[in-house]
Structure 1
Amino acid sequence: MVDITVIIPVYNVEKYLSNCIQSVISQSKKEIEIICVNDGSTDKSGEILDNFAALDRRIKVVHFECNKGRIAARKIGVQMAAGRYIMFLDSDDYYTDDACMTAFQEIENANVEILHFGTTVINAGLSSQYEYDSIVSFFRPYINNLYGEKVLEECFKEEKYNYNLVDKIYSAQLCRKAFSSISEINCCMAEDMMLYFIISYYAKSYMGIERKLYNYNFAIGVSKPGPINLEGLDKRCTSAAACFTIRDFLYLQECFDKYESTYIKIERRLLSDNFDAWYYRLPVTERKEGYNIFLKHWGTDKVILSLLYDVENKQYDINIKGAKISELEQNIRSARAEEAKHLEELKRSMERNIELEEKLLLNRQEMENKILEYNNKAKEQTEKIQNIQTEYERISNSFSYRLGLMITKIPRMIVHMIKGVV
């Protein structure tokens, strides 16, 4: 019997992958399955996975032909999972030797749907002490029990604990319910935030423990602090898709008003992060092109909001680190004019479509009237034929008709005989 399914999305991590997989197959708890989803890797990651699968039958490998993102990879893993509980592991991180055993025992004893354990943060990217201390604080579990709506609120509204997927073990039933509500968007940032928001929405219970079971390599990939390029900004701004997915989910559940303040807090955090990446971490020479990327993901209104948030947070009046607000406002006005032009074209196109639909509707109505007229005439003819048949049957069954047949029978026979002789 499988107690735990460990799901590992994999994309171009050949440098770290063997250490990650080895940490799972070496677990003291053996009643586990390992689902590795090769998300269209172009390096040797797929080959490494197949080699491990050949050595350990607990490993199942799924190969995507193209990169679909960690959401799609995790979703298919959840759909395939046979374990009673599910754990998620990033392919550049690794477990302690007793992670699965400890997590399983703790969640069984606590009888909760989510168990949150501690994380050892490894400063893989040599980030600053401040950045390192911040991420250590972020990973700290909330050592308490939560029930019902508190599971979501204490994470996203009160920020008592983090929304990372990898430092928790979940009821498989909870994961299946949550992931069935999740669309397969491909975003590089904030996907954990979006996924855990939906999981915590459905969750009925949570417990945190101090025991550190997860080893996290900090400052690798898109989360790496410091300067970024246009490609990095584009990846970072995909957090907008995760944000809007949360909004759409709340509308579908008909509870947006209830969680509106929580959603606004999430949106503001992501907007501020993307604004900071665009304006402060991108080289000045690429800022204009970066603005178009920022605008593409978030839209004009949200970009304006991010500017207001930045001015509010940093209390700048005229200059924002050497850049005049008027320049940004000019960019925003240009973007709004372009958007207005696009909306006007869209409006005209819709009007043409409406006009065409009205003509088609009119032609359809005329055709339906002709068909109705034809059907009425056909109905009248049918009724006439039925009346004639009814009258014929009535006459055929009458006494006078039968008497006439009897009277004319002998003459008809004589005529027939005469014709035969002739």
Structure 2
Amino acid sequence: MPLFSFIVIAYNVSAYIETCLDSLKKQKGAEYEIIVVNDASTDDTLDTIYRCAADDSRFHVINKKTNGGAHLARRDGVLSSSGRFIVFVDGDDELSPSFCELMGPYVVTHQSDITRFGRRVISTRFENDAAAASNEAMFNVALPCTMEDGSILPCIFSDERVPRLTWSIIDVVLQGDFARLCFQKMTSDHLGRMQDSYEMFVLCACARRFETITDFQGLHYNFGNGCSGNTEETAQQFVAMQLSAKQLNNHIAEFADSTDSVVIKQCAQWLEEEYVRIIGNDWVIRLNAENQQATILNVVETWGIDTAYRILSDTLDARAKWFVAQKQIPEQTDDFYRWLGMLTTLENEYVQSLGLAEERSRIHEYGRQFHDEKVRRELEAKLEKEREELEKESQRRFKKGTFMRKLSDACLPENSLRRDLANVIVAHRRK
């Protein structure tokens, strides 16, 4: 029995898969197998896999004829594995050259169901450099080394720990028999993006022992390859993502309902709220104005009016608070007013369904405050302009040589007490 089963999922990663597989072939210090699941790639990925695997008995290639997504690829790989421990590797990432030498003795000694290790995040696009650094810090969170039973799930799927662990499945070592049993229980449905949230939820709910050693950066994560990074999305991509999140939420709710655990049910509820937060964040950051307008009703259809309304109201609330903190008011072309118009449209079309009176009142109050402040500033600017014009006119009329200047000099001679007193009164009025 090999110590490790490395399960590589590959879909249209011909530019990266050879580097990925080379990082596995060069491992030393333990026996291992490499199970590569080609998820019906349409490029040269499969040819590259076969070339890398040629004459290497450690390789087992599963060539799927129909694309089933990352979850089913992992599930197929796990159920065909034989290793004492399982590690997932995405086809556009790599493992540290010392992974087997360092992790092998550790996992054998500790025998945890799940062992979380760290990652080195490598930015592959200059625009992602800052995000890559914060991503690395987020994934390398250091927590107490060992958690057991009911304390495991809340470390990832609640706000119990700050900062919390992520639900990523590509930087963990799973005990082999434990992983095979869990994946056998998981759905055989095609799952979309964020499928690892479902997988890790089930794994953590079933685990008896979970360890973290995030100071060892065993994964070399290429940030910007595939769908990682902060790139703009199309409306179609966003719609697919929020549909996938709803599907995942349904599977997790079904799993939670099948148990008697209050903790599992609470964590499932937290994850539903997290899905909504992620959807809202992607809607704001990854979509342009046209696609935001085009997709908000898709969120209504998938998640319901209350959720769509909350996404918009939370977005508006955050934008309004920023302006208030900066002591500014938004220009009429600002996103605030565009989003407010969308919110009003939802109210007009679904007013009977809304149970969000407090949020509705708060957001519209911001709108009124900005309007009133704008009117006040415009009036103030108008008065200031009139004052400046009056001052200019006064200066013109009292210009040296004019009749008014001669009369003034006669009544209030230069350096006289009356002249000085008049100047003090005028200066005071200007203030």
**TM-score normalised over the length of structure 1:** 0.73
- Helix, strand or coil at the partner of 1:246: helix
- Residue 273 and residue 76 in structure 1: after superposition, are their counterparts in 2 closer, same or farther (change >3 A)? same
1:149-195 CA-to-partner distances (Å, cap 9, x unmatched) read 11211222225322111111110122122212211343442111111
- Residue 332 and residue 87 in structure 1: after superposition, are their counterparts in 2 closer, same or farther (change >3 A)? farther
Q: Where does the alignment leave 5 or more consecutive residues of structure 2 unmatched? A: 325-329, 354-431
Q: How far apart are residue 336 of structure 1 and its match? A: 8.6
- Choose which of 322, 327, 340 in structure 1 pairs with 2:337: 322
- Residue 193 and residue 14 in structure 1: after superposition, are their counterparts in 2 closer, same or farther (change >3 A)? same
Identity in percent: 21
State how 1:6-85 maps to structure 2 within 5 Å: 6-85=6-85
AA matched with 2:148: Y
AA matched with 2:157: F
Q: Which residue of 2 aligns with 1:192?
A: 196
In structure 2, C-alpha distance between the alignment counterparts of 1:271 and 1:44, rounded to whole Å: 37
Q: How far apart are residue 304 of structure 1 and its match? A: 2.8
Q: Which structure is larger by alpha-carbon Rg, 1 or 2?
A: 1
Q: How far apart are residue 332 of structure 1 and its match? A: 6.3
Q: How far apart are residue 53 of structure 1 and its match? A: 2.6
- Helix, strand or coil at the partner of 2:101: helix
- Residue 46 and residue 332 in structure 1: after superposition, are their counterparts in 2 closer, same or farther (change >3 A)? farther
In structure 2, C-alpha distance between the alignment counterparts of 1:136 and 1:275, rounded to whole Å: 23
Q: Which residue of 1 aligns with 2:394?
A: none
In structure 1, C-alpha distance between the alignment counterparts of 2:121 and 2:339, rounded to whole Å: 39
Q: Which residue of 1 aligns with 2:391?
A: none
8 Å CA contact retained: 2:128, 2:224:
no
- Choose which of 173, 179, 184 in structure 1 pairs with 2:183: 179
Q: Which residue of 2 aligns with 1:148?
A: 149
8 Å CA contact retained: 2:30, 2:104:
no
- Residue 309 and residue 173 in structure 1: after superposition, are their counterparts in 2 closer, same or farther (change >3 A)? farther
State how 1:13-412 maps to structure 2 within 5 Å: 13-143=13-143, 144-157=145-158, 158=161, 159-209=163-213, 210-237=215-242, 238-255=244-261, 257-315=262-320, 321-331=336-346, 334=349
- Helix, strand or coil at the partner of 1:117: strand
1:246-292 CA-to-partner distances (Å, cap 9, x unmatched) read 2221012243x434443333222221221232244312222332224
- Residue 251 and residue 329 in structure 1: after superposition, are their counterparts in 2 closer, same or farther (change >3 A)? farther
- Residue 260 and residue 310 in structure 1: after superposition, are their counterparts in 2 closer, same or farther (change >3 A)? farther
- Helix, strand or coil at the partner of 1:55: coil
Q: How far apart are residue 43 of structure 1 and its match? A: 0.3
- Residue 247 and residue 146 in structure 1: after superposition, are their counterparts in 2 closer, same or farther (change >3 A)? same
In structure 1, C-alpha distance between the alignment counterparts of 2:172 and 2:249, rounded to whole Å: 22
In structure 2, C-alpha distance between the alignment counterparts of 1:264 and 1:300, rounded to whole Å: 18
In structure 1, C-alpha distance between the alignment counterparts of 2:344 and 2:126, rounded to whole Å: 37
In structure 2, C-alpha distance between the alignment counterparts of 1:86 and 1:155, rounded to whole Å: 20
Q: How far apart are residue 30 of structure 1 and its match? A: 4.6
In structure 1, C-alpha distance between the alignment counterparts of 2:346 and 2:253, rounded to whole Å: 27
In structure 2, C-alpha distance between the alignment counterparts of 1:297 and 1:100, rounded to whole Å: 44
Alignment: residue pair count: 337
The RMSD of aligned alpha carbons is: 2.5
8 Å CA contact retained: 2:111, 2:175:
no
